[in-house]
Structure 1
Amino acid sequence: MSRECLKVTSLEIPGQDTNVGKKTQLLDRGQWANKLEFLLAVAGTLVGLGNLWRFPYLCYKNGGGAFLIPYILFLLTCGIPMFFLETAMGQFTSQGCITCWRHFCPLFEGIGYATQVVIAYAAVSYIVIQAWAFFYLFSSFTAELPWASCRNTWNSAFFFNLTAFLMLMFIDSHLGFRKRVLGLSGGIEEIGSLRWDLALCLLLAWILCYFCVWKGVRSTGKVVYFTATFPYVMLVVLLARGLTLPGAINGITFYLYPDPKKLVDPQVWMDAGAQVLFSFGICQGSLTALGSYNKYNNDCYKDTFVLCLVNGGSSFVAGFAIFSVLGFMSYEQGLPISEVAASGPGLAFIAYPRAVAMMPLPQLWSICFFIMVILLGADTQFVSLECLMTSITDMFPTVFRRAYRRELLLFCLCSVCFFLGLLLVTEGGLYFLQLFDHYVCSGNNLLLLSVCQSVAIGWIYGADNLYDNVEDMIGYRPRPLMKICWLYVTPTVCLVSETEPLKFNKTYSYPTWAYALGWFLGLLCVLLVPLWIIFKVTQMKGTMMQVCELCTQISDHCKKCSSPGVDTRVLSVWSLHVLLELVWVFYGYSSFLPQPRNMTVRLIRVCIA
């Protein structure tokens, strides 16, 4: 089936002359110029700041190498199958992550809205790390790197009493990040003043993202040739330098050696699952949006394995680069590695600056490193923006797919996100950043949305039906392992989770109102799924006979690429119907009475509409 029947590229108003008709034509949605642009764009957004600081931080937090066991398990059972599912959905429909659900399962369109809320939170919060990187980059243009010594205006007097200790260098880098860059307050209740230097860096980061995205995939596809490749060069260089430092082997041992006791901690498993889903862009809509710009016959199945291998390998290699430096610091200070780094998301801004400061020409390496950090963040950031833009323009093509309207919408979106992000560059901003990261952009949110997505496609729409769609696109049928994961493994594994209260740097406990705020923001995303179901159900009308007829049909746009046989959606819908009937019977009702049971009728009709 050609994808032309699924999209509208122009609009002409009847009764008007040709000139007016031309003015009303919609701009083309666009496609990647070639396959390499798609691969680089996806690799750029996957291999981001999460690989650089979040994955090594979680390894350190969860006992080093023990974290790799649940991480690999989630990678095989959740990451790869869900990556393939989202990419295939976008490529088949040529639609963003909201409107694509109207072709598969309108009942679960709320998943699309929920993913956009998650990615909006991420777009506002994680660009702050780019602002930190810009600040460090500008500080690198000095005769002596500010974090290479303790002769700085922000160092407190007690530094001079520690000069006899080898731990001086690390403490300077650690406290310098907290005092000079962040001006960190005593807690989230002390928001403090705005850090104007960071605010200007944040503005610069948003300007960079705007010009990377303003022409859609036509500009994004060209930018990624540099932004997605340069970070790999620098990562290899920094890894080579780290492995040559004394004590690096101790850090590598700590990184690779698993602690079996950690495997009984449910939080380790939840962190592993959340990191896989976060770093792979699962349930954030970015894969669906990027896949929607592919050619219809692109082999997204093979692309899935290539990109997942690149992403997982990059996280693994980044861990070597981080822990080799931590091993050196442990060696110099005579302290266990577990006591060397305790900075959370700021880990990369402590370990890596110390590494580049010990290289020849430290200013040069520092500039290259922080350019790498900026580019890693920019890749993820402008793909997040592109995802939001794709969703909005696909929902309202006649409004925004016109000359200069996309640019205006993007400007408004960037402006709103910038002003919201100013909260995160205050003296208490880091506390809010970790609150958003823990409750909204990772953890239970992504796990629950993955369950909803796999159930909606695997059971309601039908895993076999999606396999038919994929076969129509790529010319062959994927191995059944993906289908098994969608139906059984992914929902089961993602449901194994437990939440523990968030603590800043393992010492500071948030106040009760902050925990309530975090839960509210997190639930605001997930509740969009059942709220949309309720909304759709209340809008539908019909009789049981009509429902029975609809249960034997599939959507028109899927008929040409669906094989004959049993439609798995019929079984799932009737299972849902039986479940609801048991509820009605329990309360003394029966759908076999003359009047129809409206809730059952409406829900079933929406499922297969």
Structure 2
Amino acid sequence: MNRQRRRKTENEKRAGERGQWASKTEYILVVAGNVVGLGNVWRFPYLCYKNGGGAFLVPYGLLAVVCGIPLFLLETSVGQYTQEGFITSWRKICPLAQGIGFGQLTISLCFFIYVLIEAWALFYLVFSFRSQLPWAHCENTWNTGEAIEYDSANPNLTHPFPALCVTSWVPCKFLLRRRVLAMSRGIEDLGSVRWDLALCLLACWVFCYFSIWKGVRSSGKVAYFTATFPYVMLLILLIRGLTLPGAWEGIYYYLYPDLKRLANLEVWIEAGSQIFFSYSLNAGTVNVLGSYNDYNNNCYKDCFWLCLLNSGTSFVAGFVVFSVLGFMAQKQGVTVDNVVESGPGLAFIAYPQATAMMPLPQFWSVCFFLMLILLTVDTNFVIVESVITTVSDMFPKLFRAPVRHEIFVLIICISSFLIQLTLVTELHSNFTPPTLLNRCFPRILLNRFHLGYC
């Protein structure tokens, strides 16, 4: 009895020093914003289509119950029990295992690159307010004769180039390749900083700073908007997608069950990888967010509903994506499998092309890229907050004072921005067009975002 009372007193003292969520709602929103991200929109629908359609839901659901939810609960419980970041929590449970925490810290630092996707989406969002979308035509300064040469070399495009300018992939690909990424002559040619893209990157880091500068007191408030508004955008895009001609053909491709695929081990591996990726397992963020809960919080119920929300969002996002892809296929007179994309190819090539075909293209483009930005915002500031919390818990006397904490957060954000300026210079251009993104980014980005979609 005395031991329990002593433990409760210690936990209350530690919570007072570290801070706690102002309410259960803030915790739910921040965790939901963290786990519901790009993987739900640009990875799950493609994996479902690729691995048996509706049949893919069998291994996905089974592994979610067997692996996903239990591990999500375990990580949340460890954080809530220890009230520490992912290094000191392991040190407290088993000192020999604290190397796991250092591994998670390293991974989290690599995942700072997540903000780059947010910067690209912001860049496209600015373009979306133009009177004519730049990916809807080829009369841009970055389009050259190579577009005609590449188009004519594509056996799927048999009509004259001018007639296909809006409906082909060329404007979208060249916008990404030449205007956004500005491919250089080679890896030896670093090139200059793309200042327009650098300003977008700066805006993302400024938003990140003011989301976490007060710790969970500020991030909890920000999540009321960033975690809920994407669902408004998703609902709008869902309604619009289902009303497009050809939408149901796309949904048929998305959910058509191919039970033979269940005998393929690769299908089960990809279902498991999607669970770990989408639920943010083993990254340490779930641990850190749980550490700001009250010691006696009922995390069983929280974890179940958060995992259900995550998987449900993935499933609904598939209808949004494939209804639009079905519309694109009908417009171009091809089958859906010829326009299916995953990863950045979906977000920055396929979907922009689809918005250019719709009435009021600017509105639908704004909705999509605003949703994309808000899906990345939460994940980004939670990753940064996890690193800051972990370091602060290792050196509490040095970083827990409010002013010192704010300065430390500022240093982290500024240094990360300066380092990432190297990622908004001109990029290596030694590539084949269909594998554009596969050769442009660090291997860690390929693994994290599953860019090997071509």
* Contact 1:91–1:293, Cα closer than 8 Å, also in 2: yes
Are positions 1:353 and 2:342 aligned together?
no
> 2: CA distance between counterparts of 1:306 and 1:143?
43
**Partner residue of 2:69 out of 80, 88, 94:** 80
* Contact 1:170–1:329, Cα closer than 8 Å, also in 2: no
> 2: CA distance between counterparts of 1:259 and 1:398?
58
* Contact 1:275–1:442, Cα closer than 8 Å, also in 2: no
Are positions 1:435 and 2:424 aligned together?
no
* Contact 2:33–2:226, Cα closer than 8 Å, also in 1: yes
Compared with structure 1, are the counterparts of its residues 392 and 317 closer, same or farther at alpha carbon in structure 2 (3 Å cutoff)?
A: same
In the alignment, residue 407 of structure 1 is paired with which amino acid? E
SS, match of residue 86 in structure 2:
coil
**Partner residue of 1:89 out of 57, 78, 82:** 78
- C-alpha deviations, 1:330-365, integer Å up to 9, x for none? 112222322214464231222332344445443333
Are positions 1:70 and 2:59 aligned together?
yes
* Contact 1:80–1:308, Cα closer than 8 Å, also in 2: yes
> 2: CA distance between counterparts of 1:282 and 1:188?
34
Q: Which position in structure 2 is the counterpart of 1:298? A: 297
Q: Which position in structure 2 is the counterpart of 1:310? A: 309
> 2: CA distance between counterparts of 1:71 and 1:38?
26
% of aligned pairs identical? 54
**Superposed displacement of residue 259, structure 1:** 3.6
Are positions 1:180 and 2:163 aligned together?
no
Q: Which position in structure 2 is the counterpart of 1:102? A: 91
Are positions 1:281 and 2:277 aligned together?
no
In the alignment, residue 130 of structure 2 is paired with which amino acid? T
Moved more, 238-247 or 258-267: 258-267
> 2: CA distance between counterparts of 1:396 and 1:372?
37
Q: How does 1:322-337 map to 2 (within 5 A)?
A: 322-337=321-336
* Contact 1:41–1:228, Cα closer than 8 Å, also in 2: yes
- C-alpha deviations, 1:8-54, integer Å up to 9, x for none? 559xxxxxxxxxxxxxxxx8211111110000010111111221223
**Superposed displacement of residue 171, structure 1:** 3.6
SS, match of residue 168 in structure 1:
coil
**Superposed displacement of residue 241, structure 1:** 0.6
Q: Which position in structure 2 is the counterpart of 1:585? A: none
**Superposed displacement of residue 287, structure 1:** 0.9
Moved more, 230-239 or 338-347: 338-347
Q: Which position in structure 2 is the counterpart of 1:4? A: 9
> 2: CA distance between counterparts of 1:8 and 1:348?
46
In the alignment, residue 436 of structure 1 is paired with which amino acid? I
Compared with structure 1, are the counterparts of its residues 165 and 404 closer, same or farther at alpha carbon in structure 2 (3 Å cutoff)?
A: same
**Partner residue of 1:128 out of 108, 116, 130:** 116
- C-alpha deviations, 1:435-456, integer Å up to 9, x for none? 21344x489xxxxxxxxxxxxx
**Partner residue of 1:31 out of 20, 42, 45:** 20
- C-alpha deviations, 1:45-77, integer Å up to 9, x for none? 111122122323444555654543332232121
Are positions 1:141 and 2:129 aligned together?
yes
**Superposed displacement of residue 388, structure 1:** 0.7
* Contact 2:254–2:318, Cα closer than 8 Å, also in 1: yes
**Superposed displacement of residue 185, structure 1:** 5.5
Q: Which position in structure 1 is the counterpart of 2:154? A: none
Q: Which position in structure 2 is the counterpart of 1:224? A: 223
Q: Which position in structure 2 is the counterpart of 1:487? A: none
Q: How does 1:116-265 map to 2 (within 5 A)?
A: 116-123=105-112, 125-157=113-145, 158=148, 161-165=160-164, 168-184=167-183, 193-260=192-259, 262-265=261-264
> 1: CA distance between counterparts of 2:303 and 2:94?
23
SS, match of residue 155 in structure 1:
coil
Compared with structure 1, are the counterparts of its residues 149 and 165 closer, same or farther at alpha carbon in structure 2 (3 Å cutoff)?
A: closer
> 1: CA distance between counterparts of 2:46 and 2:358?
23
Moved more, 309-318 or 331-340: 331-340
> 2: CA distance between counterparts of 1:306 and 1:34?
17
Compared with structure 1, are the counterparts of its residues 196 and 166 closer, same or farther at alpha carbon in structure 2 (3 Å cutoff)?
A: closer
Q: Which position in structure 2 is the counterpart of 1:606? A: none
With the length of structure 1 as denominator, give the TM-score of the two structures. Answer: 0.65
Q: Which position in structure 2 is the counterpart of 1:269? A: 268
Q: Which position in structure 1 is the counterpart of 2:102? A: 113
> 2: CA distance between counterparts of 1:505 and 1:371?
23
SS, match of residue 28 in structure 1:
helix
* Contact 1:54–1:345, Cα closer than 8 Å, also in 2: no
Q: How does 1:527-538 map to 2 (within 5 A)?
A: none
In the alignment, residue 97 of structure 2 is paired with which amino acid? F
* Contact 2:84–2:393, Cα closer than 8 Å, also in 1: yes
* Contact 1:91–1:294, Cα closer than 8 Å, also in 2: yes
Moved more, 205-214 or 171-180: 171-180
* Contact 1:130–1:377, Cα closer than 8 Å, also in 2: yes
**Superposed displacement of residue 296, structure 1:** 1.6
Q: How does 1:448-487 map to 2 (within 5 A)?
A: none
User: What runs of 5+ residues in structure 2 fail to find an aligned partner?
Assistant: 152-158, 429-436
Q: Which position in structure 1 is the counterpart of 2:433? A: none
**Superposed displacement of residue 409, structure 1:** 1.3
SS, match of residue 325 in structure 1:
helix
Q: Which position in structure 2 is the counterpart of 1:382? A: 381
